[in-house]
Chains A and B, each alone.
Chain A
Amino acid sequence: MTSDTTRDAVAITGVGIVSAAVTGNSAALGAFLAAPAPPPDEALGPGAMAALVEPDEARRLSRVCQMTVAAARLAMRESGVAPAAGLGLVIGTEFGDLASTHAFADGFLARGPAGLSALLFPNTVMNTMVATTAIAVGARDMALTLNAPTVAGELAVARAVAAVASGRVPAVLAGGVDELDTVVERELAYLGLGAERRGEGAAFLVLESSAVARARGATVLGEVSAAAWRALPTRPWGVGRTHRSRAITDALEAAGARTDDVGWVYASASCDEARDRWETRVLAGALGAAAPVSTLGRLLGRHAGLGVLRVAAAAWTARSGLLCAPDGARRVARVRPGRGLVHGLARGGLHVALVVDAA
């Protein structure tokens, strides 16, 4: 789906992040990106959520739902958007609330039918984060959970951009979330993907029509001028040979941009070497080798929230002309401020492109 250039651009008016490296709004993210440092541990500390959710929520909600609700509230607070005017919700996730699913199954394995928890069961469905967040922020319009490997966060933002651009809904809270899970880590290592740096956290953006945002006096942190998602041919979980990216081509066309307008790129590289090489080839095929590429995956660890965080980071780069070094080192490069691209490519061929501009 692409947003249409004849329609208003989509503004980012709020950012909310909960992660081991940075927690807060767009200002906290900007401070982190200006002096990036990898967190000592990819996992959120045990007390990290206490200050971010109500005691009642800390008791009722699973850990991943707490992360989600906390990040969503931070974004809503920065944006100041009113849910009553119409608020959609789109959340991308790769694994959902897997910890609750394990706990539910383990209850049965330990005690048989008597060990099953009716309270845990709803959390085994991936839309549990949407359900709890919709209640927490009062989102009553369309609410989607999108499941995808690697690019769930970028996909959630792209889908939300399309919903705002088409006039389907005045504002959308778009986010991504995943938590670290020992079973997943073990099995990914077994698949030979243990080198991939994984992390956890939640990140949200408030997206709304630029005209509406400005009319209500909101601070516009950046604009998503176009978004597109497509699929490259390959087998399930596979790395393909095709380099031609319709997602990038279609997004640039919808934004009315040429390839040399793209001053920099945030890519989804995360140390899955075969996938990372494929993405490099796809980007080179679409843009040439000129644009500097950053990836926060090596710095922060990949999770669905990171895809959303990279869109927020792109808005920061568009404003500041600063770009984190791609290798996770504590360096920041100067780049051309203004237009850039956020790109994600998953094993299996799903890929997403978002054109991001300064406000």
Chain B
Amino acid sequence: MKQVVVTGLGAASPYGAGVVAYWKGLTGGACAIRDLTLIETEGFRCRIGAEVPGTLPGSPRRTRADRLAIAAAGEALTDAGLGRRDRETAGLVVGAVGGGMLEAEAWYWRDGRDGTSTASPRTVRAVLPAAHAETVASRFRLGGPRHTVVTACSSGAVALAEAAELIADGVVDVALAGGVDAVTRICYMGFNALKLLDPTPCRPFDRERRGMSIGEGAGFMVLESADRARGRGARVYATLSGHGMTTDAFHVTAPEPAGDGMVRAMREALRRAGAAPQEVQYANAHGTGTPQNDRIEARALARVFGEGGLLVSSSKSMIGHTMAAAGSLEAIATVLALEHGVVPPTANLAIPDPDVPFDCVPVVARRAGLTCAISNSFGFGGQNVTLLFRRGAA
């Protein structure tokens, strides 16, 4: 099995375009959750979310999600210094959920209301989640294996795990992978219908937490075999030493109450990495801010690492739940935490929940000499993923 390293990062986050803005926002503890402007919120209890500000690259005729993907993927490829020849055989794995739904909804709403509207061919073609991979592959001329994974809120992390397997199995030496989602009406309305949205910015791990905040964005990494990266003198951010993917097989929305599936994912990541639990110093948690999810994740973390065994924080407290992008944006945060020796905080955390037996780094970022960290992502359908990173080239 080949070692897999991270040689490029790209982000389009609610802080704006670029990894620099993303890391500055996270470590500054800045909450980017505000009033939603992209969709109508009239009549709903929660009317806030975290949108990506500013102008996006790519033609305005492309879907918003495609343009988010182009921004983050392009930055990651440039950061890694991959030339055209490198890209010809590079793999591509994209995690996506909503596809071009934001634009398709606008058409469907008009069609549903007056029955006369016809979708543009571009809208129809771009609605599927797989459209992002086609767009990114075409734009950056990526010719290796390509696939699109849909595992709900863990899609971005699964994409990274899938790319790592392509490299570890020797199918490709380099791959671009990540997740993307734009805000959509269906996602916003659905979580409202489930009463899982906090009308104020979410407060993961707070005793008074009331739910999540939705967000949008894209996060991509260039993953590469360690030998190849070393051979071309590439900058190595971190090593993706292990990952675990499991399924609860319990309920379509609710996590299994004892966190068994989450525990199996974390233990599988440790096993693959050959790491002992005490080596892991930080967990970038899934940390949605719903009462149930945070409690079960904390329970699962305690079963694997022991109570208080590591620092825990939730990026969603600042950028919301960016759906398919969440797993990859949070993996980038984990890699940067290792690189800079700084743990991003959990914003809006005022009253720690006694059922969460960890230091959740409230409000202010913390310096910590990290060498090993995990990023957890969980999704509807009990789809659990843990990524384990080590600092630099292990």
Enumerate chain A interface residues (CB-CB to B < 8 A).
Answer: 1-2, 4, 89, 94-96, 101, 104-106, 108-109, 112-113, 116-118, 121-122, 124-128, 130-132, 134-135, 138-149, 155, 159, 162, 166, 168, 187-188, 190-191, 228-237, 246, 348-350
Contacts and interface: CB of A to CB of B under 8 A. Distances in A.
A128 B250 CA distance: 13
Contacts of B134: 236-237, 348-350
A128 B97 contact: no
A44 to B, nearest CB: 23
B382 A147 contact: no
Contact of A113 (B97, B118, B171, B192): B192
Given A1-B169, A141-B246, 20 more contacts: A109-B113, A118-B195, A125-B152, A125-B380, A126-B97, A126-B150, A127-B152, A128-B381, A130-B247, A131-B381, A141-B247, A143-B245, A146-B149, A148-B147, A148-B148, A190-B119, A229-B145, A229-B146, A231-B142, A350-B147
Interface size bucket, B side? 35 or more
B138 A234 contact: yes
Contacts of B353: none
Nearest to A143: B247
A105 B105 contact: yes
B211 interface: no
| Chain B contact surface mostly | mixed
28 contacts: A104-B186, A105-B105, A108-B189, A118-B190, A118-B195, A131-B252, A131-B381, A131-B382, A139-B247, A142-B245, A142-B246, A144-B149, A144-B162, A145-B150, A147-B148, A147-B149, A162-B165, A166-B169, A191-B124, A228-B145, A229-B145, A231-B92, A231-B142, A231-B145, A236-B125, A237-B134, A246-B143, A349-B137
B342 interface: no
Contact of A127 (B92, B248, B383): B383
Interface in B129-166: 129-131, 134-135, 137-138, 141-152, 158, 162, 165-166
Residue of B109, B118, B130 with highest tally of chain A CB at under 10 A? B130
B261 interface: yes
Contact of B249 (A140, A187, A188): A140
B165 A1 contact: yes
Contacts of A122: 190, 252-253, 380-381
A233 B141 CA distance: 7
A153 B138 CA distance: 23
Contacts of B261: 140
Nearest to A110: B112
Interface string B3-26: 000000000000000000000000
Nearest to B191: A121
A236 B135 contact: yes
B102 interface: no
Contacts of A146: 147-150
A-B residue pairs, 5 tightest by C-beta: A131-B381, A121-B190, A236-B134, A116-B193, A143-B247
Interface string B32-67: 000000000001100000000000000000000000
Contacts of B149: 144-147
Contacts of A145: 149-151
Given A1-B169, A144-B158, A231 B137 contact: yes
Nearest to B171: A1
A143 B383 CA distance: 7
Contacts of A95: 128
Contacts of B152: 125, 127
Contact of A231 (B128, B143, B165): B143
A177 to B, nearest CB: 13
B108 A105 contact: yes
A83 to B, nearest CB: 9
Contacts of B189: 104, 108, 113, 116, 121
Contact of A236 (B138, B246, B251, B253): B138
Interface string B202-215: 00000000000000
Given A126-B129, A230-B145, A162 B193 contact: no
A183 to B, nearest CB: 8
A236 B143 contact: no
B59 to A, nearest CB: 12
A286 B146 CA distance: 20
B169 A162 contact: yes
A155 B147 contact: yes
Interface string B168-200: 011100000000000001100111111100000
A145 B166 CA distance: 17
Nearest to B113: A109
A2 B171 contact: yes
A141 B384 CA distance: 10
A190 B118 contact: yes
B381 A130 contact: yes
B374 interface: no
B121 interface: yes
B379 interface: yes
Contacts of A350: 130, 134, 146-147
A350 to B, nearest CB: 6
A125 B383 contact: no
Contact of A138 (B97, B158, B192, B249): B249
A235 B138 contact: yes
Interface in B360-394: 379-383
Given A113-B43, A128-B252, A105 B112 contact: yes
Indicate the member of A109, A168, A230 with the most B CB atoms within 10 Å. A230
Nearest to B129: A147
B150 A1 contact: no
Contacts of B270: none
Contacts of B108: 105
A168 B165 contact: yes
B381 A127 contact: yes
Between A109, A229, A246, A348, the greatest number of chain B beta carbons within 10 A of the residue's beta carbon is seen for A348
A92 B41 CA distance: 34
A250 to B, nearest CB: 9
A322 B146 CA distance: 33
Contacts of A112: 43
A246 B142 CA distance: 13
A86 B108 CA distance: 42
A281 B112 CA distance: 42
Given A141-B246, A237-B125, A147 B171 contact: no
